[in-house]
């Protein structure tokens, strides 16, 4: 894999025809070390956010030893890439064959569930194993998050009693897990969820060994500037310390976006301008799925030397395919004189950008280059964390 100093230098020197993915291993390593050192428990990476083997190795080298896998494909990938990793199968609905392979072939001992049917499935597939950590997933609110995860999975707190009791009977260690939704914009999301956990434990009167607060830890995007992550950690720790759990209970988290969003960005070329619409060579079926389908605003910058002095204006993007759905409304703020032939960098695409990419309509590119400069935004550099802190205290 080739290396370059920064996006501008690459665009100027190479004038690429197809999109180029830029990766910043140092940014992912910094995020991983932040969680390892500051989160008051165990951090396991949610592989679905970006399953790149190169990224998995960066995270491993930076201290992430546990991985949240959601399919047998992810189990195999991480087991192959990181033979020493601990895998936790945290999808609440799994094929029985997948459970069996994960347990017997890959050493998986941690499974989540949200129904009696799934519990019975796990017991059958593992042939009554006595070394299981079973995490019952509670349904909690996503009201504080930009993307809801409150409807598909999770047992309602008032209905959790039976499942917790039955899981306790067959589990070596019993856990409770939840997911507050993606891009939680306030620590209150975790405080509210932990109160649901408390109610479930009291009602079921079971000994709980693991509390897994799931994902939802945010990154920073235009119009979505969250408070410092330390505030999330403090809130979670306080709530955990007050729960009626085993004296040796463990606290887990499943960061995905927060560990990999800053890992990569994308260089695209403007192929046409039509008023305030720019036709670029990547889009909804490439790395910009979130920008098209859920209106995510990513940071953008014009890669031109010398810099443009034109006033910024709002643009929308069209991707390269023949599909009208290949449209990113933005708004994306760029100099008003941007034109066909210009190159843009679109930042913060390490989370879900690579994971959602397809080759629909024959478009796409696998070209990847390591760059040494900083990501376009960060929650882990001292300057950005200071600014975020000021926003919270005002």
Per-residue model confidence (pLDDT) at position 382: 64
CA distance linking residue 296 with residue 304, whole number of Å:
25
CA distance linking residue 219 with residue 377, whole number of Å:
9
For the chain, domain boundaries: 2-22+261-371, 40-254
Q: Which of 296, 266, 258, 297 is nearest to 380 (CA)?
A: 258
Per-residue model confidence (pLDDT) at position 386: 36
- The reply to whether 40-254 shares the fold of 2-22+261-371 is no
Give 10-residue mean pLDDT values along the chain (394 residues): 86 93 97 98 97 98 98 98 98 97 98 97 97 96 79 86 97 97 93 95 96 96 94 97 94 97 97 97 94 92 94 97 94 97 96 89 89 94 48 31
Highest CATH level, class, for 2-22+261-371: mainly beta
Contact present, 109 and 131 (Cβ < 8 Å): yes
Q: Residue 294, CB half-sphere, CA atoms under 13 Å: how many?
A: 11
Instruction: Give domain 40-254's CATH number out of 3.20.20.10, 3.90.700.10, 3.40.50.300, 3.40.50.2300.
Output: 3.20.20.10
Per-residue model confidence (pLDDT) at position 389: 35
Cβ partners under 8 Å of residue 88, min gap 6: 44, 66, 67, 68, 69, 108, 110, 111, 112, 133
Per-residue model confidence (pLDDT) at position 142: 83
* Alpha helix positions (H), the chain: 7-14, 25-38, 53-61, 72-81, 96-106, 116-125, 160-170, 188-204, 229-241, 257-260, 289-293, 353-356, 382-393
Per-residue model confidence (pLDDT) at position 149: 74
């Amino acid at each position: 894999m080739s290396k370059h100093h920064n996006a501008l230098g690459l665009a100027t020197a190479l004038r690429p025809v197809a999109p180029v993915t830029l990766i910043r291993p140092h940014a992912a390593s910094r995020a991983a070390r932040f969680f390892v050192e500051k989160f008051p428990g165990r951090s396991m990476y949610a592989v679905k956010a970006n399953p790149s083997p190169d990224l998995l190795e960066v995270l491993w080298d930076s201290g992430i030893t546990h991985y949240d896998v959601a399919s047998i494909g992810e189990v195999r990938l991480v087991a192959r890439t990181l033979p020493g990793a601990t895998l936790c199968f945290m999808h609440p609905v799994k094929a029985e064959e997948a459970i069996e392979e994960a347990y017997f072939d890959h050493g998986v001992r941690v499974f989540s569930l949200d129904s009696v049917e799934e519990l019975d499935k796990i017991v059958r597939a593992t042939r009554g194993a006595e070394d299981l950590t079973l995490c019952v997933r509670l349904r909690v609110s996503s009201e504080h998050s930009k993307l809801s995860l409150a409807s598909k999975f999770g047992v309602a707190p008032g209905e959790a009693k039976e499942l917790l009791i039955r899981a306790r009977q067959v589990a070596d260690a019993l856990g409770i897990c939840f997911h507050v939704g993606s891009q939680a914009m306030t620590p209150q999301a975790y405080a509210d969820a932990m109160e649901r956990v408390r109610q479930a434990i009291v009602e079921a009167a079971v000994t709980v060994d693991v509390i897994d607060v799931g994902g939802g830890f945010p990154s920073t995007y235009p119009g979505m500037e969250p408070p410092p992550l330390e505030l999330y950690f403090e809130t979670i720790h306080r709530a955990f310390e007050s729960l009626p759990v085993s004296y040796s209970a463990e606290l887990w988290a499943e960061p995905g976006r927060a560990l990999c969003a800053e890992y990569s960005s994308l260089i695209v070329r403007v192929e046409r301008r039509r008023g305030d619409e720019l036709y670029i060579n990547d889009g909804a079926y490439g790395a910009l799925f979130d920008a098209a389908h859920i209106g995510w605003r990513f940071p953008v910058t014009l890669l031109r030397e010398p810099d443009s002095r034109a006033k910024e204006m709002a643009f929308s993007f069209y991707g390269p395919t023949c599909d009208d759905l290949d449209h990113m409304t933005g708004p994306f703020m760029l100099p008003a004189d941007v034109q066909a032939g210009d190159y843009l960098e679109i930042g913060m695409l390490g989370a879900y950008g690579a994971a959602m990419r397809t080759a629909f309509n024959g478009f796409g590119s696998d070209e990847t280059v390591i760059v040494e400069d900083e990501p376009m935004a960060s929650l882990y550099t001292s300057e950005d964390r200071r600014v975020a802190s000021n926003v919270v205290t005002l």
